[in-house]
Chains A and B, each alone.
Chain A
């Protein structure tokens, strides 16, 4: 594999606090790779080390086959960055900000300001001061600045955090288009739907460690299958009541009911309903849905992503 990024045994400590605890990763060129995990999992620390903004405590990091300690200028010119919530120059306009940043990439194959304004749908806002942009527009500008040097690797740290749903979807479309053009994209997020939608592969990190790695589909399959049934009954049933149910792979308690992982819903669902009939209980909640990375995280850690 022609790796864009290679991380081996990465460790970052702040005093007694271990932010990254022996991380290994490889990201291929042209891949959209997601670092997933709750707040404080070490995602931002990892990305900032990859961006050359933080020095690791231990381990090796290679970006585009190079090391930060040896070739910082060369690397900075070849990557693009959108930090978590970048604040830019308040009283410069969108266009002025783009032109300013473009001068930093002089002599390199930088994208034209006009192209970026159009691609990021910022044309109408070109003469607006940065301080007067909405959250979504500001984030699009941040991504535009990340793209301005026509980077080989683009890092996006929680690009849609704090955005309204419409702005999120607009930014997703942009990132999907970059991926389609063959750019290597590394993004961090604590939104599972974002990772599923955008990423070829994801690594789930928790407490600075990698706890799962694969395509979203693989991870979902490993954690118990793609189809889930959420069920509560009146009166409540014990878990043993579902033993031997056709197509049942796993069962776990959720609230006052269960989540059942099943294969082939067209087989398992009729069998389940027949079983409820035999027992003479009435379902108060019966939902069949597709598993998400949220379910993966829950299965791996016993915690949901947002409970921190």
Chain B
């Protein structure tokens, strides 16, 4: 069977990839391992209990008994020296010092910069005040719900897909091209009547085959192990993955357009991928960076991809509501591809 050169080049690329066990592992296996590791490390462990210390002395046992009635509190009675140490080490979040004489104030000792200490203070205070006879004038009924797609692992998986696609474009395509240039394979191809665009396009065509498999494998695995579900349209998620991989491929091609050897390529690839891994919210939210940086961060292709995919996957948003990130992705894809093809070196 002889198809056109573009088809033949793409088929050759896919064959070579399947014959390289290392590449297969890094592309398909590695993201699954990260999913498992982080999914376990950051699993939801139910409501956390507040660790409270009561300073020993008169009335300490009564106070401790009152507090122990609350299922959200774990209470211990300790001497002043140990209490201070344990507070410093974060083993307890708050120390209750009962009054030495009746009528004197209770003392709550805690670090207000710790959010869990503030929560503990409210809890302890409420319990003690009620124990002393306070009556609440309003009647309250709690209804708790778990928001869909709100766990860490739900949030993580779309980011991991972004990382996987970026790595594929960089280490799969860009590194491959530089290697071919270093080995003079590009030069050999340039000496044939092959259309040069066919060679570059073959990386996109093989991507059309690999990206859907990557999406399917990662989400199927995350669903089976952690119950992660795509709340929006799976077709939209796939379309986003293809657009994202196109955008990353443009970056990869740009890295590969001039580098003469794999050492240079290595450096360039790290220069581009590492900042995005940190800034673009793969493992933790980019909202942790100062507000002044946010507009710049949102313009990174990886940020745009993660933002749009999380809205579709976790919040069930429509892909058409993601105008800004989509525009960012298309912009990167077009600019990088055009520039890369212009400055590309075959010899």
Residues on A facing B (Cβ under 8 Å): 48, 51-54, 73, 76-77, 79, 81, 83, 85-92, 96, 99-106, 108, 129, 145, 149
B3 contacts A86, CB within 8 Å? no
Residues of B within 8 A of A53 (CB): 187, 190-191, 346-347
**In the complex, A83 Cα to B4 Cα: how many Å?**
25
**In the complex, A145 Cα to B2 Cα: how many Å?**
17
B188 contacts A103, CB within 8 Å? no
With known contacts A53-B347, A54-B347, A89-B16, A100–B191 Cβ distance under 8 A:
no
B28-45 residues with Cβ-Cβ distance < 8 A to A are: none
- The residue from A87, A100, A129 contacting B9, defined by CB atoms under 8 A apart: A100
B3 contacts A103, CB within 8 Å? yes
5 inter-chain pairs at a CB distance below 8 angstroms, sorted by A residue, are A52-B191, A76-B193, A87-B185, A92-B12, A104-B194
With known contacts A52-B191, A104-B5, A149-B192, A83–B184 Cβ distance under 8 A:
yes
B185 contacts A88, CB within 8 Å? yes
- Nearest A residue to B16 by beta-carbon distance? A91
- Nearest A residue to B346 by beta-carbon distance? A53
With known contacts A89-B12, A91-B15, A104–B192 Cβ distance under 8 A:
yes
- Nearest A residue to B192 by beta-carbon distance? A104
Residues of A within 8 A of B190 (CB): 53
- Nearest A residue to B183 by beta-carbon distance? A87
A83 contacts B8, CB within 8 Å? no
State whether the Cβ of B134 lies closer than 8 Å to any Cβ in chain A.
no
Residues of A within 8 A of B184 (CB): 83, 85-87
Q: Taking each of A81, A83, A92, A103, which has the highest tally of chain B beta carbons within 10 Å of its own beta carbon? A: A103
B191 contacts A106, CB within 8 Å? no
Known: A53-B190, A73-B193; 10 extra A-B contacts, CB below 8 A, are A51-B191, A53-B191, A53-B346, A53-B347, A81-B188, A90-B16, A96-B12, A96-B15, A100-B8, A129-B19
**In the complex, A52 Cα to B188 Cα: how many Å?**
11
State whether the Cβ of B142 lies closer than 8 Å to any Cβ in chain A.
no
**In the complex, A149 Cα to B193 Cα: how many Å?**
9
A92 contacts B347, CB within 8 Å? no
B1-28 interface mask toward A, CB cutoff 8 Å, 1 = contact, 0 = none? 0111101110010011001100000000
A-B contact count (CB 8 A): 72
Give the interface SS of chain A, mostly helix, strand, loop or mixed.
Answer: loop
B192 contacts A101, CB within 8 Å? yes
Residues of B within 8 A of A52 (CB): 191
B16 contacts A83, CB within 8 Å? no
B5 contacts A106, CB within 8 Å? yes
**In the complex, A102 Cα to B19 Cα: how many Å?**
22
Closest Cβ–Cβ distance, residue B167 to chain A (whole Å):
20
8 interchain residue pairs of minimum CB distance = A87-B183, A104-B194, A77-B193, A103-B8, A91-B19, A81-B191, A76-B193, A103-B5
Residues of A within 8 A of B12 (CB): 89, 92, 96, 100
With known contacts A92-B15, A92-B16, A96-B15, A86–B185 Cβ distance under 8 A:
yes
Residues of B within 8 A of A92 (CB): 12, 15-16
**In the complex, A228 Cα to B190 Cα: how many Å?**
46
Closest Cβ–Cβ distance, residue B334 to chain A (whole Å):
27
With known contacts A100-B9, A103-B3, A91–B191 Cβ distance under 8 A:
no
**In the complex, A85 Cα to B16 Cα: how many Å?**
21
**In the complex, A178 Cα to B347 Cα: how many Å?**
28
Closest Cβ–Cβ distance, residue B339 to chain A (whole Å):
22
**In the complex, A91 Cα to B185 Cα: how many Å?**
13
A76 contacts B192, CB within 8 Å? yes
B8 contacts A99, CB within 8 Å? yes
Residues of A within 8 A of B9 (CB): 100, 103
With known contacts A54-B347, A104-B194, A149-B192, A89–B185 Cβ distance under 8 A:
yes
Residues of B within 8 A of A77 (CB): 193
B191 contacts A105, CB within 8 Å? no
Residues of A within 8 A of B183 (CB): 87
Residues of A within 8 A of B347 (CB): 48, 53-54
B192 contacts A105, CB within 8 Å? yes
**In the complex, A92 Cα to B16 Cα: how many Å?**
6
**In the complex, A81 Cα to B194 Cα: how many Å?**
13
With known contacts A52-B191, A53-B191, A86-B188, A91–B20 Cβ distance under 8 A:
yes
**In the complex, A117 Cα to B16 Cα: how many Å?**
21
A105 contacts B16, CB within 8 Å? no
Residues of A within 8 A of B4 (CB): 103, 106
- The residue from B3, B187, B193 contacting A105, defined by CB atoms under 8 A apart: B193
A99 contacts B188, CB within 8 Å? no
**In the complex, A51 Cα to B194 Cα: how many Å?**
14
Residues of B within 8 A of A149 (CB): 192-193
With known contacts A77-B193, A83-B184, A86-B184, A103–B2 Cβ distance under 8 A:
yes
- Nearest B residue to A77 by beta-carbon distance? B193
Closest Cβ–Cβ distance, residue B336 to chain A (whole Å):
25
Closest Cβ–Cβ distance, residue B103 to chain A (whole Å):
85
B178-201 interface mask toward A, CB cutoff 8 Å, 1 = contact, 0 = none? 000001110110111110000000
**In the complex, A51 Cα to B183 Cα: how many Å?**
18
- Nearest B residue to A129 by beta-carbon distance? B19
Q: Taking each of B15, B20, B192, B194, which has the highest tally of chain A beta carbons within 10 Å of its own beta carbon? A: B192
Closest Cβ–Cβ distance, residue A194 to chain B (whole Å):
22
**In the complex, A121 Cα to B287 Cα: how many Å?**
64
Residues of A within 8 A of B191 (CB): 51-53, 76, 79, 81, 83
**In the complex, A154 Cα to B7 Cα: how many Å?**
27
Closest Cβ–Cβ distance, residue A85 to chain B (whole Å):
8
Residues of B within 8 A of A129 (CB): 19
Residues of B within 8 A of A96 (CB): 12, 15
B236-268 interface mask toward A, CB cutoff 8 Å, 1 = contact, 0 = none? 000000000000000000000000000000000
B143-189 residues with Cβ-Cβ distance < 8 A to A are: 183-185, 187-188
Residues of B within 8 A of A86 (CB): 184-185, 188
**In the complex, A89 Cα to B179 Cα: how many Å?**
11
**In the complex, A85 Cα to B187 Cα: how many Å?**
12
